[in-house]
Amino acid sequence: MQLTDVTRARRTPGLVVLEGFHAVKHALRFGGELLGAWTADAVALEDLRDRLAPDVALPVEVVALDDLKRVVPRGQVVAVARRPTQPDPLTVLAGSGHVVLLEDPRHLGNLGAAVRVAAAAGAAGVMTTGRQDPWHPDALRGSAGLHFALPVHHLRTLTTGRRELVALDPEGEPLTAATELPAAAVLAFGTERDGLSDELLGAASRRLALPMTPGVSSLNLATAVAATLYSLELARG
């Protein structure tokens, strides 16, 4: 594969484009298969690898900086990988651990950041609804490649299996250290502007609210996911 194939790879099912060192690092660390990787500064990239990821090998081809910028203006390195085979949604829902559900997320960077948080907090998976592709290169950049660390799926129709659906909603009961939930719930988060839809709120068996200072009306999506997952983990003791 050549650097000029990156643009086509963005539109090719089964392939993903990884922009930046951390995205490539995590893809490799969690078993990703690279089909090609390119940098304009092999020395700087190797320095990063030595300091931040000595456990992974970074097989890269050195290209001219102008050529690299034509395909990834923001990144020091770009790579193309096969999209990993992951457990299907029903298998994920039948397993253990909380599943994060993002209803119609609008901003790909926030979507990716939520995936990154979910991976760090040990969630069982992330599922999205709506128009955005959770495997878009911008989402992968936001997750620092941690899509490879846990299942990430786009749902055409909402399904929660046999799990309890818990909606994060400002009108819900406050989430505290005493809050008890099943060990494997679906935690639903809406957009910063509109929150969750009436349909999803109606389907939820419970609503929880993150306490906020009066006058603060919402949190960034990834921040809300982080606060919720870590609060529940601390509550479990």
**pLDDT (0 to 100) of residue 91:** 96
Q: How confident is the model at residue 237 (pLDDT cuts 50, 70, 90)?
A: low
Rounded mean pLDDT of 23-42?
96
Choosing from 29, 58, 82, the residue where a domain stops is 82
Are residues 122 and 211 both part of a single domain?
yes
At residue 61, the 3 state secondary structure works out as strand
Average pLDDT, the chain: 92
Q: Specify the CATH number for the domain of residue 177.
A: 3.40.1280.10
Q: Specify the CATH number for the domain of residue 15.
A: 3.30.1330.30
Are residues 12 and 105 both part of a single domain?
no
Give the predicted TM-score (pTM) of the model: 0.92
Q: How confident is the model at residue 217 (pLDDT cuts 50, 70, 90)?
A: confident
Burial of 107 (0-12, 13-18, 19+ CB in 10 A): middle
Choosing from 29, 56, 82, the residue where a domain stops is 82
Are residues 67 and 99 both part of a single domain?
no
Question: pLDDT tens digits, residue range 35-80?
Answer: 999 999 999 999 999 999 999 999 999 999 999 998 888 778 999 9
Question: Domain containing 34: what range?
Answer: 3-82
Number of compact structural domains in the chain: 2
